[in-house]
Structure 1
Amino acid sequence: MPISAAIRALAPTVAAPPFPPPSILPSILSALQTLPPSDGGNPTAPPSPPPPPLESFAPHLSSALVLDVIRSPQCQQNPLSALHFFRWATSGFHLAPTCYAAIVDLLLSHRHFAAADPLLQAAAAACHDHHDFLAAKFIAAYGDLGDIRGAIHWFQGRRLSLGRYSHGAVLRVLVRANRIRLARAVFDEMVADGRVRPDVAAYTTLIRGYCKLGLVADAEELFGALACRPNLITYNTLIDGYCRKGMMGAAMAAVDRMVQRGDCSPDTVTFTTLISGFSRHGEPARARSCMEDMVGRWKLQPNLLTYNAVISGLCAAGDVEGATAIMARMRLDGIMPDLATHSCLVKGLCVTGRPDEAAAHLKEMARTGVEPDSRAYGPVIKEYCQVGRLRDAMAALDEMDRRGLRPHFSLFNAVLAALAEKGELDKAARLLREMPRRGCPPNFLSFSFVIPVLCGRHGGMRQVEELVTAMRRGGHRPDAGMYSAMVEGFCREGEMGMAVGVFQDMVEGGFAPRVEAFEALVRGLCSVGKRDDARKLFEEMGRKLPLLGMGNYKRILSNY
């Protein structure tokens, strides 16, 4: 039975109250606004005597009316007013369990744990099962806040009075946080204790945790130890674990086992999971075959996710025509392609070396009401960079800027790397400076594509200084390769003071210079009669980098 139905079944039978007039809810909310702060300011205080503005509504009280008050926008913003009304209502009326669930949800959503806690005792007086159901909400609320320690502490302090809902909630919180060992410990404690036997939901939660972390063997072992009949969700969870690991034979065998044992029949989720697995692991033909079996044998209708999984596999394999045919079929089935569908096709066109068609499809998407995002542009920009069409790649970046889209680091870095490789360093430096304005400040890799190449260009060190300043301002610092390139660049341009300063900064930071950079520095210093300075830098390097093998550096020093 669904939880909501179970709660309704637990509700006590009460006489129908007089039918409230249409204006009753606004009147109650208006009355709540007139209450002094002391009436609702202390969430743990005992109920105060009902003030006249609320007492006049007593003849119209019902569980439905209380729910309407709690769920009103006013009380959703001010949960303590809702709590005051709830406590007043329970002082003279027996409310349904759904009312307790609603007020607990509201208080927990505002982190009023202390205010919600006494309501558990009141709920327990009406029905123990409902108390356990509400207790599970506390555990889930701690988990939503990321307070795993708080969830465990709260659970352990009340474990003996809690049932399957609460035990299931703590398992879900731990699995979501990837604390699979602790989840297994709680599960094993349930088995050993025997007071609360793990149900199929508990088994499925733990199986999901194992599969999520790729521990499929542990998931298999637990599935084999099931002390209850697995349901469809259990099978689908295990099948998904197999598919993520590429164990497609085991996934298909699990489907066969499901059918042969008569536990349940595969559904659309089962087949979509299998199709995604085949597509992800480079078997688009088997993915299509799986969909045909789904429709023909099992009479199941593919949904958007199913079609997208097939299209993704075909596009990744370069079968754009096959993917286009599937898109036409999904339209005939009344399912319109979404952003993911179109993005797959764009990627497929780029995989087959057709970036112009992919760019045209991006424009067509916008005309059909599906706005492309930055991920959709990614394959087009990277393909243009791959084939050396940098002007088109830059134009695509500009188009993203006009649309207000923020490119990912990888897109900027692909363009920067291509520009640097082509020697278009002024454009690369300009793009680096523009990145913050376009919503994506450069990362270390962005600078590393440009600065070392710029160091090798005559007259490029002024730009290098500007970029290194911007780099440090962004929280990044050069590495050994970048430092060495800068030393060589300054030496090449005869700026020995700058070269020495960069070298000392590098050694101070614990970076070993390239032999070529040290040789350039020594040669430059000796050429202007500063042999002693070269020897001092060598000795300083030995002191600051004691683990560095100095043989090659010493030979260079001796040669000069």
Structure 2
Amino acid sequence: MAMPPAAATARTLTRHPRSSDLASLVTAITSCLETLNPQNPNPKHLNPTHLNQFSPHLDSNLVIEVIKKQQPNPYQALFFFNWASNLNPNPNNYSHNHRCYVAIIDLLLSHSLFPIAKNLLEKHGMFSDLLVSKLIRAYGYSGDTKSAIFWFHKVKEIQQGKCLFSWNAILGVLVKVNQINVAKSFFDQIVNDAVVKPDASTYTTMIRGFCKVGNVDEARRLLTKMRLNGVKENVATHLSILKGLSVAGKSEEAIGYFSEMIRKGMKLDAKEILVEIGELDKAVLLLKQVKNMGCLPNLVSYSTVICGLCRSQGRMQEVADLVDDMLQDGFEMDATLYSCLVGGFCEAGNEEMAMRAFYDSINKNYVINLQSFSFFVNLMCGKGKVIEAEQIFKDMCRRCSLVDVDSYQRVLDDQLHKHSGRR
């Protein structure tokens, strides 16, 4: 049987290839897999003979790199993984290590192929704490809490409770679906049974759960217990407290807590509470105070407040002031901010400033989002400036390489049709 061109590459490589050789081998295997092109988990009709040329070169690093390369097509990765699991011949007695299983499970779960990932773990008896915790999160975050709990109990029995990754995973799932009392029951088991020692993630997950329902007092008690047990809190812990204060309507206390953490040297990002506060005036004030706290706002912090102001009536002057501050701090405008500006000026009926922001974005090859584009066309047509609206559309299509022309054309046509009916 004639061997594919990839065979030439395989023959020239040593058992332990250099990084450049590894890349060549990964490319050769990928080409071979694309020729086979498996489209389901267990393709019966495919002959893996062409892959056998690569068996002398297999090691865990090569397998992991091939799996990563197959990100767009998980079935090709799975076909390769299964082939490498059952090598015949197997000249170097290769077998997958734990890292290989992590790589294939991560890929399958990223494509929501939960049953296939589950079957693979069961087939190979790979019920490690880390691997099963990934399955627990995948099921739980997709809304299948029942399966998440089932797999938690399965790994807990196999590992005799010594499964901290899975404990943390199931707590995160329960908190996400607001089953705080059930999560607390699981947490109490950890503490009472003392089979594993809770870490910062364990405590922070529960603190986040209490803060989601505004129970800041319970969250703070848990924070104290965390410190007494010698577990050091992290940024995520404090952000959970901050969000809890905001949920409970204690925005002033949230700002005070934020300021205290900054003074203590914590590198907190103001954006994590600006949205939660829900009060733009206080958010603007906090953003201006951040510099005095020794913590320079980042682009996302500015963007959060600026876009919030753009959605509020009568606050575009404040927007202009904050944009000036942001530019002075060395940050550049991005597509999100330009879209907010265009939308905000349109809402204010200021077609001159809206057009200025629009053209500025075009000059930087940024595409205004569809909603703001619709607002803009609506404003221009309403003011009888149809020709100007059509011209800026043409300029955007000509100069912005990422624009989806068909989608924007439909929005333009809809607005033109709507306004033509009003005449």
The bucket for the TM-score relative to the shorter chain is 0.7 to 0.9
The alignment-based identity, stated in percent, is 15
Structure 2: how far apart are the matches of 1:358 and 1:323?
A: 14
State the AA in 1 paired with 2:296. Answer: G
**Equivalent position to 1:365, from 248, 261, 273:** 261
Partner of 1:485: 379
Q: Answer yes or no: is the 8 Å Cα contact 1:284–1:313 preserved in 2.
A: yes
User: In 2 relative to 1, CA 503–446 (structure 1 residues): closer, same or farther, beyond 3 Å?
Assistant: closer
SS of equivalent to 2:76: helix
User: In 2 relative to 1, CA 440–393 (structure 1 residues): closer, same or farther, beyond 3 Å?
Assistant: farther
Where structure 1 has 5 or more consecutive residues not aligned to the other structure, the ranges are: 1-116, 122-130, 492-498, 512-543
**Equivalent position to 1:215, from 113, 118, 121:** 113
Partner of 2:206: 310
Structure 1: how far apart are the matches of 2:199 and 2:84?
A: 39
Structure 2: how far apart are the matches of 1:178 and 1:551?
A: 40
Pair 1:188-2:86 in alignment:
no
State the AA in 2 paired with 1:395. Answer: L
Structure 2: how far apart are the matches of 1:484 and 1:411?
A: 25
CA drift at 1:549: 10
**Equivalent position to 1:397, from 281, 287, 293:** 287
Structure 1: how far apart are the matches of 2:267 and 2:203?
A: 20
CA drift at 1:323: 0.9
Partner of 1:412: 305
Q: Answer yes or no: is the 8 Å Cα contact 1:319–1:348 preserved in 2.
A: yes
Structure 2: how far apart are the matches of 1:344 and 1:452?
A: 36
User: In 2 relative to 1, CA 501–212 (structure 1 residues): closer, same or farther, beyond 3 Å?
Assistant: closer
Partner of 2:333: 441
State the AA in 1 paired with 2:283. Answer: A
Structure 1: how far apart are the matches of 2:80 and 2:242?
A: 47
State the AA in 1 paired with 2:83. Answer: E
Pair 1:224-2:127 in alignment:
no
SS of equivalent to 2:117: helix
**Equivalent position to 1:378, from 252, 271, 278:** 271
Asked which structure has the greater RCO (Cα within 8 Å, sep 6+), the reply is: 2
Structure 1: how far apart are the matches of 2:346 and 2:126?
A: 63
CA drift at 1:152: 4.0
**Equivalent position to 2:64, from 150, 169, 187:** 169
User: In 2 relative to 1, CA 142–285 (structure 1 residues): closer, same or farther, beyond 3 Å?
Assistant: farther
Pair 1:257-2:151 in alignment:
no
Q: Answer yes or no: is the 8 Å Cα contact 1:211–1:241 preserved in 2.
A: yes
Structure 2: how far apart are the matches of 1:382 and 1:189?
A: 49
**Equivalent position to 2:223, from 316, 327, 336:** 327
Structure 2: how far apart are the matches of 1:546 and 1:277?
A: 43
RMSD: 3.9
CA drift at 1:200: 6.1
**Equivalent position to 1:290, from 178, 182, 186:** 186
Structure 1: how far apart are the matches of 2:22 and 2:95?
A: 22
State the AA in 2 paired with 1:482. Answer: F
CA drift at 1:468: 4.2
User: In 2 relative to 1, CA 166–299 (structure 1 residues): closer, same or farther, beyond 3 Å?
Assistant: closer
Where structure 2 has 5 or more consecutive residues not aligned to the other structure, the ranges are: 1-10, 34-50, 398-409
Structure 2: how far apart are the matches of 1:350 and 1:507?
A: 42
Q: Answer yes or no: is the 8 Å Cα contact 1:232–1:265 preserved in 2.
A: no
User: In 2 relative to 1, CA 548–500 (structure 1 residues): closer, same or farther, beyond 3 Å?
Assistant: closer
State the AA in 2 paired with 1:486. Answer: M
Structure 1: how far apart are the matches of 2:205 and 2:236?
A: 10
User: In 2 relative to 1, CA 414–158 (structure 1 residues): closer, same or farther, beyond 3 Å?
Assistant: same
**Equivalent position to 1:424, from 268, 293, 315:** 315
SS of equivalent to 2:328: coil
Q: Answer yes or no: is the 8 Å Cα contact 2:171–2:187 preserved in 1.
A: yes
State the AA in 2 paired with 1:219. Answer: A
Partner of 2:5: none
CA drift at 1:173: 3.1
CA drift at 1:358: 0.6
State the AA in 1 paired with 2:121. Answer: F
Pair 1:505-2:408 in alignment:
no
Partner of 1:60: none
Q: Answer yes or no: is the 8 Å Cα contact 1:243–1:277 preserved in 2.
A: yes
User: In 2 relative to 1, CA 142–321 (structure 1 residues): closer, same or farther, beyond 3 Å?
Assistant: farther
Q: Comparing 401-410 with 502-511, which one deviates more in the overlay?
A: 502-511
TM-score (norm 1): 0.57
Partner of 2:136: 239
Q: Answer yes or no: is the 8 Å Cα contact 2:63–2:81 preserved in 1.
A: no
State the AA in 2 paired with 1:366. Answer: I
Partner of 1:37: none
Q: Answer yes or no: is the 8 Å Cα contact 2:367–2:396 preserved in 1.
A: no
